[in-house]
Amino acid sequence: MSRSLIKKLGIWFLVFSLLAIHFLTQNQVHADEGSAWNLMISRTGDCRIHFPARPQMVQQSFQISDDGLRLHYDVYLAPFEDKGVCLLLIAQYPMPITKGNELTGLEGLLNGIIGHNADNKLTFAKVIELQGTPGIDFLVHSKSNYFRGLAFMIGNKLYLIAMEGKKENLNEKIFNRFSKSFELSGEKNQEPVSP
């Protein structure tokens, strides 16, 4: 998959997911830091994560080439109090990313997040290893908002674990609780839990 195509795809599905966050999280049930969080298993059963409230899911698919190749993704969203939104985005590309090009795809995603709003600034980004694969740990902020995330790619899937909210409400403890609850599932035959 070409570098420019990966960057374009990253921008498109991120823009959609950010719009979905604002649309879907109005007037939601809220959870606090001490409450029991909700285990969510992805629709495909390939991962699990704990959300602070029961997540909603948005599914999207769109054509990315003239020969009919499609990008599919699921976005799971749940509010955390009135302070932010937790999200898990799983994008499935039509073909695997060439081994060694994962960071190029992740850079495209990060550039798409930064470029989404002219006020966005990169606070930090560092390459990490997440469950045996390269990833990016990052924080983007604007004058009033933050977008805190971890992203990594395995095969033809991109995983983005993130929180978004007002800048003054960034809670690294909650983000760490959310992101560290993420696990890839080794067994595909698990029954997924619907959000």
Q: If you average pLDDT over residues 128-139, what whole number do you get?
A: 88
pLDDT at 104: 87
40: pLDDT strictly greater than 50: yes
Nearest C-alpha neighbor of 193 from the set 24, 59, 38: 38
pLDDT at 190: 36
Q: If you average pLDDT over residues 47-56, what whole number do you get?
A: 95
Name the CATH superfamily housing domain 3-184. Answer: Mog1/PsbP, alpha/beta/alpha sandwich (3.40.1000.10)
Q: pTM value? A: 0.80
Q: Which of 3-7, 72-76, 147-151, 185-189 has the lowest mean pLDDT?
A: 3-7
Question: Please, which pLDDT band fits residue 65 given cuts at 50, 70 and 90?
Answer: confident
Beta bridge partners of 151: 136, 160
What 107-110 contacts at long range (C-beta under 8 Å, 24+ apart), as own/partner pairs, is 107/7, 107/136, 108/3, 108/6, 108/7, 108/8, 108/9, 108/10, 108/11, 109/10, 109/14, 109/136, 109/151, 109/158, 109/160, 110/136, 110/138, 110/140, 110/151
pLDDT at 100: 79
Mean pLDDT of the chain, nearest integer: 81
Burial readout 150-185 (b: 16 or more C-beta within 10 A, e: otherwise): bbbbbeebbbbbbbbbeeeebbeebbebbbeebebe
